[in-house]
């Protein structure tokens, strides 16, 4: 396999015709020229994203693993981002924001408090009853 090229957005944007068609998906560059006629989703959608970041369009469709494998065979380079270039349209895989989920910790503290207070009440109730019984026997 030939070495991957490092291209900028400006370089990719030049490949925007049916005869010379690049697109960017997840910051990787694909030469989809030969694939245009084979695309089950039609050539129109591919021409729409020619020379651009098509990550969102590609992911929105929910392409199969097979489609992703096809994509791998079309890889020609990686994207070199310059300052001022558009940001990635979707988060990179694995860069999902951590969910702020403290609910379980809150429940844990609540449970401890419940047991402590409940235990305390039970203890004093027991002491009270013992004292009552002792008073009755006296
Ligand atoms: C550039 C790389 C792409 C490859 C290798 C690719 C590959 C495929 C493949 C193999 C299918 C058949 C179904 C499947 O296996 O998921 C498919 C379907 C489809 N693709 Fe793509 N695709 C690409 C880009 C796009 C883009 C940018 C769009 C933009 C909207 C798109 C829209 C669709 C649609 C709408 C279908 C469904 C067709 C149908 O079921 O009637 N594809 N694509």
**Domain count of the fold of the chain:** 2
Which tokens is 110 given? 């609540």
Distance in angstroms (rounded) separating the CA atoms of residues 73 and 44: 21
Phi (first) and psi of residue 82, to 5 degrees: -100, 155
Residue 60 and residue 19 share a domain:
yes
Per-residue pLDDT of 53-86, as tens digits, reads: 999 999 999 999 999 999 999 999 999 998 888 7
Ligand 1: residue of 63, 69, 75 to mutate (most ligand atoms within 8 A of CB) is 63
Residue 131 and residue 64 share a domain:
no
* Local confidence band at 90 (pLDDT 50, 70, 90 cut-offs): low
Residue 65 and residue 21 share a domain:
yes
Ligand 1: residue of 40, 62, 69 to mutate (most ligand atoms within 8 A of CB) is 40
Above 90 in pLDDT, residue 120? no
| Domain that includes residue 123, residue range | 102-138
Write down how long the chain is.
138
Q: What is this structure's pTM?
A: 0.67
ipTM for the predicted complex comes to 0.85
Above 70 in pLDDT, residue 96? no
Do residues 13 and 52 make contact, with C-beta atoms less than 8 angstroms apart?
yes
Distance in angstroms (rounded) separating the CA atoms of residues 25 and 35: 15
Total Cβ atoms within 10 A of residue 4? 12
Do residues 90 and 36 make contact, with C-beta atoms less than 8 angstroms apart?
no
């Amino acid at each position: 396999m030939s070495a991957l090229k490092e291209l900028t957005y400006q370089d990719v944007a030049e490949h925007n015709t049916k005869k010379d068609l690049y697109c960017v998906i997840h910051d990787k560059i694909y030469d989809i020229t030969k694939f245009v006629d084979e695309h089950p989703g039609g050539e129109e959608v591919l021409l729409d994203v020619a020379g651009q970041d098509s990550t969102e369009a590609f992911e929105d469709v929910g392409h199969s693993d097979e489609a992703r494998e096809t994509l791998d065979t079309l890889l020609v380079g990686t994207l070199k981002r310059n300052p001022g270039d558009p940001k990635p349209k979707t988060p990179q895989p694995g860069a999902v924001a951590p969910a702020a989920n403290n609910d379980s910790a809150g429940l844990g503290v609540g449970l401890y408090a419940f047991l402590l207070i409940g235990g305390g009440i039970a203890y004093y109730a027991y002491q009270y009853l013992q004292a009552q019984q002792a008073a009755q026997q006296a």
